A and B are shown apart, each in its own frame.
Chain A
Amino acid sequence: MALAACAGSPTQTPGQGQSAPAATGATAGGTEVADAAVGKIYNPSDKKGGTLKMANTADWDSLDPGNTYYGYSLNFARLYGRALLMFKAAPGTDGNTLVPDLAESVGKASDDAKTWTYKLRKGVKFEDGTEVTSKDVAYAVARQFDKEIHPNGPTYLNALLDWPKGYKGAYKSKDADFSSAVETPDDQTIIFHLKEPFGLFDYIMQMPMTMPVPKDKDTGTKYQEHVISTGPYKFEKNEIGKGFTLVRNDQWDPATDPNRPALPDRIEVQTGVNADDVDNRLISGDVHIAVDGLGIGNAALPKVLPDPALKARTDNPVQQRTWYTSIIPDVAPLDNVECRRAIAFAADRNSLYRAYGGETGGVITTSLIPPSMAGYKPIDLYKSEGDKGDVEKAKAALAKCGQPNGFETNIAYRTERTKEKAAAESLQQSLARVGIKLTLKPYPQDDYFALYAGKPSYVKENKIGLAINGWGSDYPDTYGFMQAITDSRDIRDAGNYNLSVKIPEVDKMIDQIKAEPDAAKRADMWSQIDHMVIDQAVVMPSVASKALYMRGKGLTNLFISDSQQMYDYVGVGVQQ
């Protein structure tokens, strides 16, 4: 497959347009070119002014930097908050680079990678003019510890730092000393103490949990109503559930911030907008960007794809997200590796590729790690002609498994997701060729992991042998992608995303990776893990996901960065 081969090089983005230099990309009123914001800057500009209009089909989990985890929120929060570090606002892989934001430089790790020290820039102020100190960052970290009040945010810091015994966060342990975890020897310095070595700590530090929060302005669950800005924009008006407006923060000093061009004067965001309406408004130019980063909806696809003028306004990047099927060894006869391999052999990958939307939906992949991440290698264990599946090898595997005539099992998928339904049906058909009979089991997506496919007792009781699954990374490091779905020690009673990978060697290697400072060696170990998982046939990857984004009209300086996996909201501007 040409597509798979193309995606094989992580530095190269798939699709056409490589020859067009970034500087001469589509300009105002000029011709639009598809993928003009993939790997390069669309309509580069440094002109300030104008109002950027964004629409969200849903709503933020929270605007509170200590209580948010949605991908687009992490991207967007950088407009009103400054974490210690941030991903560079740059197109393509360049956007994977961590650059200092509130900090002067990236973290200085101790030799054992257990102590991380950051120095804050001078002259950074909150929107009320107060100077930001390291205590504000420490407070932000301590307040987000309280997951009863802030349940949405990532739990990395709770797990990684060496918190005092019985510590309950900034609210319940108000005056407790938590210097064993976070230390602020002076107003510009902050030191994090980890329980175990963790070489990727900088990746955590770019998340909004480290955006400073002034203690006297913290209103707990109500802080989201008025977040105190440190970024180039502050909240003018915020109606939760409806939308909000950002205006320039006059206390933001560009001299302290080399990362943000801060082009628009004003950013208006409407939330809870009908998804079809968002697409229509993108097309008409009434809205600039769909902030949720989900891409064009099914209703608008038939309108956009066949129309060259509209297609030219789309970007179709490969994402750091893999759609796959979990093959669950808890359910007989899938406890036998040969039976699992039989499935991997028999599956028609081409049909699955079409189920996930074909060309604009993704590229066929044979590994779990997405093509643009370190450690990615194509894995050719189950090759077949035209990717249509190898019936003979599947039958041979079945014979080895002691099930020469096949067997029956169930396949779970999320009811609301038509592509997953199509994938399950595709498997049902292709596996029937070797006598494996699948019964389709749709479950509501909200409870898919909490009550059904992610709950081992339910899976065993109901003999869910296969489950359609998919995963995207939190941050563009393979650890952030792989750990949550391959480390068997994190499997709990319910709410698991790792449904099938329980390989002790994998767990062991993950520990080694954590302590390994050499990125190349880490990448190599991830490749080995990926290979083990595929060889054991507990995961069967289908496609590396591609998104299809639509550019509104009149945008400048627009690009998709690999770190954000969508348009970068720090860089973008509008024409006037």
Chain B
Amino acid sequence: MTAFLDVKDLRIHFPTDDGLVRSVDGLTFSLERGKTLGIVGESGSGKSVTSLGILGLHKGGRARMSGEIWLDGEELIGASADHVRRLRGKKMAMIFQDPLSAMHPYYTVGDQIIEAYRIHHDVTKKVARKHAIDMLGRVGIPEPTSRVDDYPHQFSGGMRQRAMIAMALSCDPELLIADEPTTALDVTVQAQILDLMRDLQREFNSALIVITHDLGVVAELSDDILVMYGGKCVEYGAAETVFYDPEHPYTWGLLGSMPRLDRERTERLLPIKGSPPSLINVPPGCAFHPRCPYAERTEGRAETEVPELLKTSPGHLVRCHMAPEERRRLWESEIKPMLETT
């Protein structure tokens, strides 16, 4: 018995003139209907590539994909491009970040929702339009009957994101992927959008993947959290576990750089030094070791040996050379107090 969405050993590689880019390198996770998975990582960690891979948007391109993606009992990697296209938008839909650029500037918001609906439903324009207005109302856009004929640039940022959500939900998808849904928005609007998504997910009972660099966003929304680094999963577990008892130094870094509503963000407590690794020349050993403050505690294995993703407690997987006890001690004694005091 497989889950509603079951991703197994997903690899997405891009051959380039400079070498092979291993954007996603052996990712495994699963998700049930009505549940939410948060995928967290810096830009370039492979999280967006993963979501596009699930949607089949790499098909026909240069990407080399391997592994398995099972959606509702159907394998997608081996399926034909056209078959996946038919599922796209209907069975699985995506909410993109920055709706100003993700929506076509030359078509009205209504037209774009109507288009999305009519691809999968053989209905007249009139019917589709009514549906679009309906959807806009449901995502909380006031006066949807008149706003339906507005262009994206005539909407505010929050409104645009709502419209984007309306578009994604127009065909009642069972899997919804939201890629940085709140990044382009200011803080108060962020909260509204997150609330909206939570409500809608409950209403539609869809499986939701939220992709973000912001742990705060997923903490509120997710059931599970998957932390990605260098195309690999470095920590995966229930949201409260990853949030309250993280064991990977990278997760600590993410937590440290998390913006918080209750406090002004003036400095990052645990800034992650350096920049994300090149996906062509992935550092040998642990991909994170050049940036890891604790790399010297691994008796040199960090530079030579790729750490395994190992179960550290039930439902909690961590990819780190440090011993689990050492990691927990560091978290309890050093990191957690520092995060709490300020």
Query: A and B: direct contact (Cβ < 8 Å)?
Result: no
Chain B residues with CB under 8 Å of chain A are none
Chain A residues with CB under 8 Å of chain B are none
